[in-house]
C-alpha cells in the first residue's frame, strides 16, 4: 500500500505461490492495506500477520520500527502516524526543488501519479517519477545518486523518537521489532549498548536479523547479541515487488518458534 509495486492482494497471492504459509504486511506508516491482505489470505490459505513499519529516528538517524499486531484505532499511535505522513508530504516540494536545481526536474503531479492511493508519500515514488522521466534507470540509481540520506536531493522529514515509537507500539498492543538495524553500514546508529538500553528501559521485543542488507557476519553478530539480550531474532524478505531487486518473497523467513513467541507477546 505504501511503496511496493504489488497491491496487497497480489502480494498475498504471490506469497501463497511462493509456498509461504504466514506472511506479514508492513507498509510504511499506514495500516490501510491490512484488511484487504487478510481477506485475500483467508481466500488463498495464507495467514496474514498484521504489521506496519513506523518511521522513527535516533539522534537524527532514521530507524525503521516494525510494529506487529498494533491496534490501528489506538489514538496515540494513529495521531503520530498522521504527523509522520504529514512530514512525508511536507518534504516533497523541497526534494523537487533540489532535483530541479540538479538538472533532473520532475513535477509534483508526476510524483502524485506514482503515489496513487497510498497515504504514505515516499522517496520510492519520487524515484519512480524520475525513472518515467528518463533521468535514472531504476530506484537504486535514484537513491544512490540523489535521494539517499546525505545525497544531494535529500530533505529530512519528521520521524518519531525511537524510544517513544517503541512505547507507542506497546501502548497499541503491538510487538516492537527494529527492522534491519545494522543494514547499509548503520551499526553506529544502534550499537550493542543502545540496544541493551532499549531492552532494559523500553522492553524492545526484537531485531530483524535475516535481511538482505545484513551480510553473513553481521547476521551472526546480531543473532548472538539478540540471544544475549533476550531479543527475538526475526527475518523477512522486505519484498517491494519490482521496487527492490534481490528481495524475493521468502528469501529470508522468521523461524516458527520465534513467530509463536511474537504472537504470545501481543498485548491484547
- Minimum distance of ligand AMP from residue 14's CB (angstroms): 18
Please tell me whether residue 180 binds ligand AMP under the rule CB under 6 A. no
Phi-psi region of 146 (alpha: psi -120 to 50; beta: other; left: phi over 0): alpha
Q: Contact 20/152 with Cβ under 8 angstroms?
A: no
- Minimum distance of ligand AMP from residue 75's CB (angstroms): 24
Q: Residue 16 or 24: which CB sits closer to ligand AMP?
A: 24
Q: Pick one of 61, 140, 161, 213: the residue that binds ligand AMP (CB under 6 A).
A: 140
- Minimum distance of ligand AMP from residue 261's CB (angstroms): 26
- Minimum distance of ligand AMP from residue 146's CB (angstroms): 11
Residue 182 buriedness (CB in 10 A; 0-12 / 13-18 / 19+): buried
How far is 157 from 134, CA to CA, in rounded Å? 26
Please tell me whether residue 3 binds ligand AMP under the rule CB under 6 A. yes
Q: Pick one of 28, 85, 211, 214: the residue that binds ligand AMP (CB under 6 A).
A: 28
Contact letters for ligand AMP, residues 120-139 (x by CB under 6 A): --xxx--------------x
Q: Pick one of 85, 170, 244, 265: the residue that binds ligand AMP (CB under 6 A).
A: 244
Q: Contact 91/157 with Cβ under 8 angstroms?
A: yes
- Minimum distance of ligand AMP from residue 3's CB (angstroms): 5
DSSP annotation of 185 reads G
Beta bridge partners of 152: none
* 3 state DSSP class of 186: coil
Q: Residue 121 or 225: which CB sits closer to ligand AMP?
A: 121
- Minimum distance of ligand AMP from residue 28's CB (angstroms): 5
Please tell me whether residue 247 binds ligand AMP under the rule CB under 6 A. no
- Other C-beta atoms closer than 10 Å to the C-beta of 21 total 11
How far is 54 from 179, CA to CA, in rounded Å? 10
* Residues sharing a CB contact under 8 Å with residue 26, sequence separation 6 or more, in sequence order: 51, 52, 53, 66, 67, 68, 179, 236
Binding positions for ligand AMP, rule: CB under 6 A: 3, 28, 122-124, 139-140, 143, 244
Amino acid at each position: 500500500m505504501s511503496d511496493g509495486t504489488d497491491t496487497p492482494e497480489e502480494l498475498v497471492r504471490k506469497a501463497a505461490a511462493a509456498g509461504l504459509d504466514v506472511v506479514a504486511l508492513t507498509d510504511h506508516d499506514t495500516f490501510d492495506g491490512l484488511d484487504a491482505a487478510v481477506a485475500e489470505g483467508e481466500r488463498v490459505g495464507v495467514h496474514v500477520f498484521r504489521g506496519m513499519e513506523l518511521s522513527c529516528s535516533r539522534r537524527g538517524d532514521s530507524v525503521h520500527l516494525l510494529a506487529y499486531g498494533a491496534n490501528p484505532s489506538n489514538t496515540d499511535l494513529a495521531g503520530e502516524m498522521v504527523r509522520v505522513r504529514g512530514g512525508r508530504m511536507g518534504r516533497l516540494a523541497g526534494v523537487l526543488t533540489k532535483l530541479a536545481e540538479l538538472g533532473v526536474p520532475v513535477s509534483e503531479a508526476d510524483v502524485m501519479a506514482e503515489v496513487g492511493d497510498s497515504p504514505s508519500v515516499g522517496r520510492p515514488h519520487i524515484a519512480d517519477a524520475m525513472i518515467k522521466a528518463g533521468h535514472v534507470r531504476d530506484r537504486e540509481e535514484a537513491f544512490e545518486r540523489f535521494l539517499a540520506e546525505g545525497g544531494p536531493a535529500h530533505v529530512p522529514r519528521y520521524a518519531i523518537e525511537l524510544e517513544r515509537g517503541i512505547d507507542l507500539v506497546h501502548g497499541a498492543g503491538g510487538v516492537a521489532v527494529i527492522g534491519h538495524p545494522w543494514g547499509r553500514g548503520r551499526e553506529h546508529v544502534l550499537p550493542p549498548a543502545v540496544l541493551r538500553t532499549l531492552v532494559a528501559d523500553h522492553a524492545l521485543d526484537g531485531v530483524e536479523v535475516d535481511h538482505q542488507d545484513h551480510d553473513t557476519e553481521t547476521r551472526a553478530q546480531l543473532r548472538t547479541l539478540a540471544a544475549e539480550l533476550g531479543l527475538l531474532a526475526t527475518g523477512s524478505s522486505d519484498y517491494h515487488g519490482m521496487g527492490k531487486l534481490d528481495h524475493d518473497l521468502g528469501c529470508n523467513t522468521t523461524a516458527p518458534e520465534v513467530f509463536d513467541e511474537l504472537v504470545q507477546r501481543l498485548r491484547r
